[in-house]
Structure 1
């Protein structure tokens, strides 16, 4: 299934006064490099931030996401776990760690993290979408559909969730429902859906 990482670009909020200027500069530079897809370079900037502010939760989380993008899932989980230890209510770290666990096929571990993220932020559509991916990985198709549907309820133009919901519907024998979801995803610009429409909906 197609995976969508949550890109975290939160503004710096808690650097100490003595190091604010340089740490903030490195933080913003790291975010710019991340947006440009230069994940290894972004990590270098985040390292410099953390050298000055080793307990800055947002930087730890951002660095974890960059590591995940480079397929360093275990390194990413280590950063997210540090962020969670420092701030257990930082929902983004729970969501991000869940996705890295999903990428390692630790679907049950991912679900536990998504459960916590959703508990902290019940209106985060991506949390439900990502938990749906993990449930699909466990072949809990009805549970996956419920999560994708909740994501769509929270965000009606959520193309990713429409795309993802098609597969469990198809696996449960609801071909019409699957093709409807995939058609909607295509209309919303999801190019990967073309193969599903061609193979299963003609």
Structure 2
């Protein structure tokens, strides 16, 4: 995408720094005497090269996140947007995912998260209600946030549900899927593992863990997960389709074509494109010529 203020290269290169920044903010909060999971309201700053981009981001955060948004102002060579988030229980992970959620959302609008902070009184702390509210309450709040695109807060509410009931595989699985969307595949993998430990036949979790492994380049391990899903659900078209993709990455064209064909027979019409690209006589002859030229 051309003429961006916050490019994909910048987004990737600064992603780790954003995580480290959250840890630093958390440690300063901890040093001030604030306890884990006490509630806080953070203010934040976004910057961009155009007022209109910040207006669009601010409208989204106001309408979907219910954040308080100020009017963008000019600052030297850029524009700046400030606002206040809704309160949430803070620990190191919650703060990191809240920050990553804003970082990723800002990128969608070509705006860069430039910082955040919160005041805190160690002598006057409040905490979320986890004594009278059950895990279902926080699970539903997490889903509401997820459906509005607030991925950071979705993770925070799933984490509170897990804090109340660590034995529900759905909370672990749901949190894993959101972590994947926030590009933290290693911690997502651990959540998938926990969900499957609690529910060994949880095919959605096994399937998604396979995708997670695929994205990490662990194709043989992904195939093992897809094969497990197929053993549990022989009619799972996505498991066949994904396994075909993994086999292709391992240069097993024959096995890939067999899996895509099975996926198509089960209803995966989208498999036809892969079949035409890699399994037709024409594509096979083309690959043979390319190999011969080498």
When the two structures are superposed, what TM-score results if normalisation uses the length of structure 1?
A: 0.69
SS of 2:270's equivalent in the other structure is helix
Going from structure 1 to structure 2, the CA distance change for 1:42 and 1:159 (only over 3 Å counts) comes to: farther
Q: How many residues align?
A: 157
Aligned to 1:146: 258
Q: Hey, what's the Cα distance between the residues in 2 that align with 1:135 and 1:57?
A: 29
Larger C-alpha radius of gyration, 1 or 2?
2
Contact 2:222-2:243 within 8 A present in 1 as well? yes
Aligned to 2:74: none
Structure 1: runs of 5 or more not aligned: 1-17, 176-202
Going from structure 1 to structure 2, the CA distance change for 1:122 and 1:77 (only over 3 Å counts) comes to: same
Aligned to 1:125: 237
Structure 2: runs of 5 or more not aligned: 1-129, 286-294
Decide which structure has greater helix share: 1
1:6-57 deviations in whole A, cap 9, x for unaligned? xxxxxxxxxxxx9896422221232233344432221111111101111110
Q: Hey, what's the Cα distance between the residues in 2 that align with 1:104 and 1:45?
A: 27
2:189 is equivalent to residue 77 of structure 1: yes
Q: Hey, what's the Cα distance between the residues in 1 that align with 2:279 and 2:255?
A: 11
Aligned residue runs from structure 1 range 100-179, under 5 A: 100-155=212-267, 158-169=268-279, 173-174=283-284
State the Cα RMSD in Å.
2.6
Q: Hey, what's the Cα distance between the residues in 2 that align with 1:168 and 1:52?
A: 49
Aligned to 1:41: 153
Decide which structure has greater strand share: 2
